[in-house]
Structure 1
Amino acid sequence: TTIDRLAPIREVFERFNANCQRAYYPGKFVTVDEQMAGFRGRCPFRQYIASKPDKYGMKMWVLCDARNNYQFNTQPYLGKQSESVERQQPLRVLLDMVRPLSPGHNVTTDNLFTSVAAAENLHALGHTLVGTMRKNKPDIPDCFKSAITATTTVSSEGSLSSSSDDRTLFVSANASRSSGGTMNT
C-alpha cells in the first residue's frame, strides 16, 4: 500500500492549483523546472539540496509562463513512493505539467527533462521542446559529442552577432531578453 504523504494538505493544494489555472492561461512560451519552497519544519517529503538558495524545503515541479513567471501548474515531489524505482520520472513529470495546456506551446526545460523521448511525446501533444542536454546523455549521437562549442557576442545595443558557417544553428532562448547562442557542430 502507498501512503499519501500530501493527504493533510491535498485538498488545499489541489484547490490552489485549480485556481492558478482558472485565473490565467499562459502564453505560447512556458518553462518546466524544479523549485524549492523553503521550509525547515517537519514534513515527510522535505528535501535538502545544497545548490539551492533555500537548502531545506519542499521540492516542487512547476510549469510557468516564460514571459511573466506566472506559476500555472505545480506538483510536489513527495519522495520515493514505493519499493520500485521510477525510471522515467522526468518524462512523467513533464507530461503531467503540460497536461492542462492546449496544443501549440513551446516548452523550455533544463537537462533533467530534456530527451528525445520528451521531444517526441510533446510533439505528439502538439507542443515543441527547447532544452539543454548533457554530453553524456545516450540520446546524443556520438558525432555530436566531441564537436559542440557555444559562442555568443552581445553588443552594447543588445544585438547578437557571431561567426557562422553552413553548420551553425542559432537558438534564441527567450525573445524578451537579449540572450542566445550559436552552436557549431
Structure 2
Amino acid sequence: MGHREDLLDGAKRCLLEKGYARTTARDIVAASGTNLASIGYHYGSKDALLQQAFLALTEEWGHRVGPADGGQEAREEPSADPYERFHAVWDQVIAAAAASRPVWKLQTEIVTRLDDDEKLREAIKEPQREGRLGMAEAFLGLDPEADPEKARVAGLLCQALATGVMIQWVVDPETAPTADDLTEGLRIMMGERG
C-alpha cells in the first residue's frame, strides 16, 4: 500500500476511535505511519481526507449489511414476498448493530456538523443520493436504472427508516426495533396483519 491508502486507512481508524471533531492530522499520521506532508500532497487537507474516510466507512458499512446478492435475486423473482425481503435485510442490519455502532455514532456526529461545515455538506450530498438508490436496490430489489423515480422515492423511505433505526440502536439497544418489529409495523401501516 502507498501513502494515499495508508492515510485513508489511518483516517478511518481515527474516525471510528476518536470521532470527526477530535481527530487531528497528527493522529492520522500516527495511525498511518506516514508524515504530515503526505496529507496535503494526497488529499489537499485533513478535512478532505476525513471526508473521504467517512464516505469510505459508510460505503463499507453498506456492503457489510446489504444482501449478499446485491438485490439481484429479488429482481429475478418478481413474485418474491416483499415483506420477507424487508425482514431479511433488516435482520442483517440489526444483527450487525453492535459492530456498526462506531459508524452510526460517527454518522450522528457528522450530521451535527453540517450547519457549520459547508464543504462537508457538499461532499456528502451526492453519496447520500447514491446511497438512497443503493438502499432501494438492496432493501427492495428495485433497479434504479429501470425505474429511477420509483427507486428514488423508495430510497428516501429506506434512508429515513435506516436513520431512525440507527438512532434508536445508539440511544437504547434494549428497546430498539428488531426485524420482526419493523416488518410487523410495516404490515400494520399497509393495513395488513401478520
Range into which the TM-score falls when normalised by the shorter chain: under 0.3
Higher share of residues assigned helix: 2
